[in-house]
Structure 1
Amino acid sequence: MAWVPQSCTLPTEEQPLRVAEFDTLFVDALVRVERPARVRARLVLDAAAEPAARELAARETSCCSFFTFTFEHDETGRLLMDVAVLEAHVPVLDALVARAAGART
């Protein structure tokens, strides 16, 4: 739970459930993690995960408004889920990237 910032408005008892949802997305759909900028990460996902990824991102933005999620598809049809933060929240992004990368191993 180290990556959940104090500014998150999700009730504390619901935070482990949200982390588990991200873990499930990472395990089930993550192809790779890219870090094109210090303040931005790109999660390359199987295209079939798009509805779940969009819904999870919408709920995450509602409690952690410092996240910005954008979506597009690459030339192979995979879903590109970009996650951006302001400089002050880079440690949160770092932890999210580490968690995603850990799910790949």
Structure 2
Amino acid sequence: MATDEAADWATASCSLPIGEQPLRIAEFDRLFAGSARRSVRVSPTRLDVSLAASAEAAACDLAAREVQCCSFFNFEFTSADSAVVMSIEVPQSRIDVLDELTSRVRTVGGQ
């Protein structure tokens, strides 16, 4: 998915200034491209992404900043062996956003 396409769904769901949204999307893309090991859609409202343990600090920082502009997201982190699982939850009304995020993880993460 091209960044322009991602910006289309992000714009409707995010209070981050429009000019900063592509930069945030690129941050998620870099995180997923460099660290995502696998992803599992646990339920319609939850996605678990297994990341390299070395990415935990960057992922936590990015998640904290994302919640500031998109308060409907809930991120939780769980350590598992040499990985960290980033659980991403949204309310039922925001499943479309999680669908797009799932697609991005699988596309840029090579899954």
The answer on 1:7 being equivalent to 2:13 is yes
How many Å separate the matches in 2 of 1:66 and 1:55?
17
Shift of residue 3, structure 1, vs aligned partner:
3.3
**CA RMSD for the aligned pairs?**
1.0
Residue 100 of structure 1, aligned match among 98, 105, 108: 105
TM-score normalized with structure 1 length? 0.95
- Number of aligned pairs? 104
After TM superposition, the score normalised by the length of structure 2 is 0.90
Paired with 2:64 and 2:85, the residues of 1 have a C-alpha distance of: 15
- In structure 2, the partner of 1:48 is 54
Question: Paired residue for 1:31?
Answer: 37
Could you list the runs of 4 or more consecutive aligned residues of structure 1 that deviate by over 4 angstroms after TM superposition? none
Task: List alignment gaps of at least 5 residues for structure 2.
Answer: 1-6
Task: Determine which structure has the larger helix proportion and give its number.
Answer: 2
After TM superposition, the structure 1 = structure 2 runs for residues 79-98 of structure 1, keeping only pairs within 5 Å, are 79-98=84-103
Is this contact kept in 1: 2:31–2:59, CA < 8 A?
A: yes
SS at match of 1:3: helix
Between the aligned partners of 2:11 and 2:76, the Cα distance in structure 1 is: 21
What is the identity percentage for the equivalent residue pairs of Structure 1 and Structure 2? Answer: 42
